[in-house]
Amino acid sequence: MNQNLNEMKGLIYTFLVLLGLACVCVVTCPDKNAHSEALKDLFNTVMTEEMNKSVETDEDAGWEMLGSMIVTGIGGLMIDNILKVENYFVCSVGTMTFEGETKIVSLGLMNHVFTITEDEAKEIVWAYIKDY
């Protein structure tokens, strides 16, 4: 009898911990703005690195800065337009569609957005540029 009671307590505690964790996930699930900001930061980093590769002189640095401002502005608009975020209550998933293929680009969980790697972001940028 005492062993059954201990097993029942263990199950109840496990259930309560899982319920508490689920409640925390629901309350802290990132929205579309959080996904958008995380992806903008990632794409801005990628584009700045790509543009820095071509800078050879001080004169080029000025043009690179201007180009960087234009590209990051356009990149932000692009992300806002093609990012779709689906909320699953405990987490959220950000997707983008390129060349007819939908790819997961971010995952939001517990108030944090996990994004794709910089190499994957470069591939997406070049695929998007090819479309236009």
**Average pLDDT by stretches of 10, the chain with 132 residues:** 81 94 92 94 83 65 71 80 93 89 93 94 74 58
pLDDT of residue 35: 96
pLDDT of residue 77: 83
pLDDT of residue 60: 64
pLDDT of residue 128: 66
**What angle do the packed helices 58-82 and 32-52 form, to 10 degrees?**
150
Exposure string over 8-35, b if 16+ CB within 10 A, otherwise e: eeeeeeeeeeeeeeeeebeeebbebebb
pLDDT of residue 30: 95
Q: Look at the block and give the residue holding tokens 């790509």.
A: 50
Q: Look at the block and give the residue holding tokens 């994957």.
A: 120
Average pLDDT, the chain: 84
- The whole-angstrom separation of Cα 114 and Cα 21 is 19
Question: Does residue 90 contact residue 19 with C-beta atoms inside 8 Å?
Answer: no
pLDDT of residue 99: 75
For the chain, state the CA radius of gyration: 22
pLDDT of residue 44: 84
